[in-house]
Amino acid sequence: MASMPGEAAQTQAGKPMLSVFRGERRDPPPMWMMRQAGRYLPEYRALRADKGGFLDLVYDSDAAAEITLQPLQRFPALDAAILFSDILIVPFAIGQNLTFVTGEGPRLTPPLVDAAVDSLQPYPARLEPIYQTVAKVRARLDPSKTLIGFAGSPWTVATYMAAGQGSREQAEARRLAYADPQAFAAIIERIEAVTVDYLSGQIAAGAEAVQLFDSWAGSLSPWQFEQYVIAPTARIVAALRARHPHVPIIGFPKGAGGKLAAYARETAVDTIGLDETVDPSWAAANLPDGLPLQGNLDPLALIAGGKTLRDAVRRILDAFAGRPHIFNLGHGIQKDTPIARVEELIRLVKGDE
């Protein structure tokens, strides 16, 4: 990427996370945790009990900003805040109805196995409160910390839009992609276009880096992975880079496994997020030299603590000792994670133990 102008370089110099995104090795590495703002924190649970349901919190920008900042208030050694929101805000803006059913998760109607994406009435104003949250967080954030925005990648978002809810095998979306590739391509294209605008809006509001979550990338055949994960991600990266050439983009294709090398080459993301199934030594040896890597502690090893946690952290740190690395989990923090385990992890990574 092109070198940064002087002002941007000075801003980066005081932010360890941004310097690693740009290819610098830091020791100890900067760290954050996926889902670090959320239900494992008692202060989050208290605010949710006071404010109402999940979607109510997302659309209350003051509450969402407070939740985004809660982990850094409790764990000041964390190097980044990640926006509190949800990947299904994009289909909500595309025109599906979105609800969260207690104990069952999100529901989108109408499911696109039964309706065409072109039949939906777009509501781009549904994105505006999220930008307000970003701006409020950035105004309050410690200047040494980095604000990360995010969106779901087109394939993962499409699985929810097709089925109307989450599923472990993503069978409805995969069947639709095989049976009617033109209809499925239209869904992907619509998600892609809205995602570019959505992430661009987050950046304009103050996000300093963005992450694309492809949580269901591992369910696809190699051919479908190329068509529905790599190709749309590459187009989003190119479009964002044209608008915001100095903003790092993290790609997190969970379950990609051996396809990670192709993903890294062909999408041109600035950083690859690794899930917990990836051998860090393999990643260090097989992914492009100098490419920053993020991850990849198993969230259940975090809960275990003790020797299990110490050994897992050491394996990761040793494997990535020769390249830019951001310490993170391999997926989201579990809701039953004890606060003491997070404190223990931070001490291990930051060198206090």
DSSP string across 300-353: HHHHH-HHHHHHHHHHHHHHTTTS-EEEEESSPPPTT--HHHHHHHHHHHHT--
pLDDT for the residue numbered 4: 45
Instruction: Take residue 255 and report the two structure tokens written for it.
Output: 């379950």
User: Residue 90 pLDDT more than 90?
Assistant: yes
In the block, tokens 């994406």 appear at 117
Q: Of 32-46, 58-72, 160-174, 175-189, where does mean pLDDT reach its minimum? A: 160-174
Task: Tell me the backbone φ, ψ of residue 74, rounded to 5 degrees.
Answer: -80, -40
Summarize pLDDT for 29-68 with one digit per residue, the tens.
999 999 999 999 999 999 999 988 899 999 999 999 999 9
pLDDT for the residue numbered 81: 98
User: Residue 9 pLDDT more than 80?
Assistant: no
What band does 3 get if pLDDT is binned at 50, 70 and 90?
Answer: very low
Average pLDDT (230-245) is: 98
Nearest residue to 198 (alpha-carbon basis) of 105, 273, 294, 91: 91
- Percent pLDDT > 70 in the chain is 96
Instruction: Exactly one of 44, 60, 79, 86 is catalytic; name it.
Output: 86
Summarize pLDDT for 263-307 with one digit per residue, the tens.
999 999 999 999 999 999 999 999 999 999 999 999 999 999 999
Summarize pLDDT for 272-284 with one digit per residue, the tens.
999 999 999 999 9
For residue 280, the surrounding DSSP H or E stretch is helix 280-286
Rounded Cα distance between 34 and 155, Å, is: 19
Instruction: Exactly one of 25, 26, 48, 126 is catalytic; name it.
Output: 48
48 is catalytic: yes
Architecture of the domain defined by 6-350 = Alpha-Beta Barrel (3.20)
Summarize pLDDT for 104-130 with one digit per residue, the tens.
789 999 999 888 999 999 999 999 999
Average pLDDT (223-252) is: 97
What band does 245 get if pLDDT is binned at 50, 70 and 90?
Answer: very high
> For the chain, what are the domain ranges?
6-350
pLDDT for the residue numbered 105: 85
Instruction: Exactly one of 22, 35, 107, 235 is catalytic; name it.
Output: 35
Give the 3-state secondary structure of residue 105.
strand
Rounded Cα distance between 309 and 299, Å, is: 10
Strands (E), the chain: 80-82, 97-101, 105-109, 146-152, 209-214, 249-253, 271-273, 293-297, 325-329
Rounded Cα distance between 238 and 223, Å, is: 21
Summarize pLDDT for 195-212 with one digit per residue, the tens.
999 999 999 999 999 999
Average pLDDT (154-173) is: 92
Average pLDDT (210-234) is: 96
35 is catalytic: yes
39 is catalytic: yes
Question: pTM for the complete prediction?
Answer: 0.94
Instruction: Exactly one of 39, 126, 175, 315 is catalytic; name it.
Output: 39
Instruction: Exactly one of 160, 198, 228, 263 is catalytic; name it.
Output: 160
* Mean of pLDDT over the chain: 94
pLDDT for the residue numbered 13: 57
Contact (CB, 8 A) for 150 and 213: yes
User: Residue 253 pLDDT more than 50?
Assistant: yes
